[in-house]
Amino acid sequence: MPNSDHETISNTSLPLCVDLDGTLIQTDSLWESCLRLISQQPLLLLLLPFWLFLGKSGFKHKVSEHVNLSPASLPFNTKLLKYLTYQRLHNRHLVLVTAANKKIAEAIAAHLNIFDEILASDEQHNLSGKNKAKILIDKFGDKGFVYAGNANIDLNVWRHSAAAIVVNASETLFNKAKQITEIEENIPKENKTTLKTVLKAIRLHQWTKNLLIFTALILSHSWYNNEALQLSLLAFFSFSFAASSIYLINDLIDLEADRAHQTKKNRPLAAGTLSIPFAIFLIPFLLLLSFLFASQINSNFISILAFYLALTTAYSLFLKPLALLDVITLTSLYTIRIVAGAIAINVPLSYWLLAFSMFIFLSLALIKRFSELKNMALLGQSSSSSRGYHVDDLPAVSLFGISSGYISVLVLVLYTHDLQASTLYKNPESLWFIAIAVLYWISHMWLLAFRGKMNEDPVLFAIHDRNSYIVTLLIAISLYLAL
């Protein structure tokens, strides 16, 4: 396990002092604590600016008083942890030395059970940079310890260490460390933040949901109108950037829950491949882009965009754990996209369309919850800490969802006999084929959900489902025949 090119026998007899944030864990415990605080007690957000007047150590202490960070949910650096475990087995003295608050450090040390000592910040002292170097020199002597760190501020400590373990560092930082001390081990970053990481974090693939913006363009037969097409494209990008900002907010709020999830644990923020500060920077940037596109459309569109953002934020912060109200909110968010598309090109909305969208999207939202509950049941879990559902709700959820899906088909059937359909279409009877196609598709989706073959996002599942493409083609042909 040791790096034979760098490690010396003399070094292994020295205490190994390990930094926490960005080194042992692939995140920052203070940022994690602040996010936990905001998600659990949102009103305390108002006190955070005042706590800053207490200084860094006082601020950390105040936050830690109101938050219990779960060590098991944190993304540990597996390579470093394996290295430390090896050193521990060979009786090396391990010290967790961190600028994080003592309460957090003690919880993590107790969870790992490999550290002999803990040195951390308290209410009065912030154990960072030169302060960290001083306490280590006082305790072990100059050049009397080895230190594992990851940032430029750790150069203050490496100057006085017998050797350095460089973790997650750039080549520039590694070379700086090499100039001032011996390198015992270099543990490069496992997953660097790349453009691919950012695109995954903003969930570029979820932009397909915003294709609903074009519904009004298609159903109003305005696709030949260049101005309407341009406005619809602007609306699409506006909603997509807005949605991406909300996805980041969701991921920041749901960090602990995502890390405990079978697939969501691989999201960039949950895995620690995208830093929390960078995500927080991205949110206003994406919102700015969203409103820049919206400003090119009209004031009513800006209003509906603002309402969408307010509702989806309320969903993230308050409504998500509330059974049934959560799926009704999700349904509304899908329908708002259709409404926004109509507002963008200034065409009247059909109440038939609104009724259909309400029932079909409620059915899809309930498929999502049904699939989550089914997966929980398979894992032997009875309920979710972040949702208001229990596995015993499976029959009721399926009943609500299937009924809603079939009602959407009924709406389509009734529409084919309405005067509005006769006005817009020469052959409205061809619209019956759309009703049949939707009837098959919603039945197909629920059947797969019952078989456990549906992932937890039916819209994304449909994008990769061959039958869904066939249904889409049949709907397109039916619309063409109806014109």
Q: Does residue 2 sit within a domain?
A: no
Pairing of strands 163-167, 146-149: parallel
Q: Does residue 462 sit within a domain?
A: yes
Same domain as 374, residue 284: no
> Are 22 and 151 spatial neighbours (Cβ–Cβ below 8 Å)?
yes
Q: Does residue 331 sit within a domain?
A: yes
Same domain as 320, residue 302: yes
Residue with structure tokens 């050049």? 143
Characterize 110-126 residue by residue with b for buried, 16 or more Cβ atoms within 10 angstroms of its Cβ, and e for exposed.
eebebbeebbbbebeeb
Same domain as 151, residue 106: yes
Among 349, 371, 386, where does a domain finish?
349
Q: Give the sheet arrangement for strand 163-167, strand by strand.
A: 117-121, 94-101, 16-18, 146-149, 163-167, 182-187
Tens of pLDDT along 36-88?
998 888 889 899 999 999 999 999 999 999 999 899 989 999 999 999 999 99
Same domain as 438, residue 329: no
Same domain as 374, residue 400: yes
Same domain as 98, residue 63: yes
| Domain residue limits at 255 | 193-349
Best CA proximity match to 113, nearest among 150, 68, 81: 81
Q: What is the pLDDT of residue 216?
A: 93
Same domain as 169, residue 206: no
pTM listed for this prediction: 0.86
Tell me which of 151 and 424 has the higher pLDDT.
151
d(CA 459, CA 443): 15
Tens of pLDDT along 345-369?
999 988 999 999 999 999 999 999 9
Among 292, 319, 349, where does a domain finish?
349
Among 171, 187, 203, where does a domain finish?
187
DSSP, residue by residue, 270-327: HHTSS-HHHHHHHHHHHHHHHHHHHTTT-HHHHHHHHHHHHHHHHIIIIITTSTTHHH
What is the count of structural domains for the chain? 3
Q: Does residue 159 sit within a domain?
A: yes
Using CA atoms in the order 32, 38, 44, 49, what is the torsion angle rounded to 10 degrees? 60
Same domain as 322, residue 235: yes
Same domain as 406, residue 339: no
Same domain as 273, residue 161: no
Same domain as 227, residue 310: yes
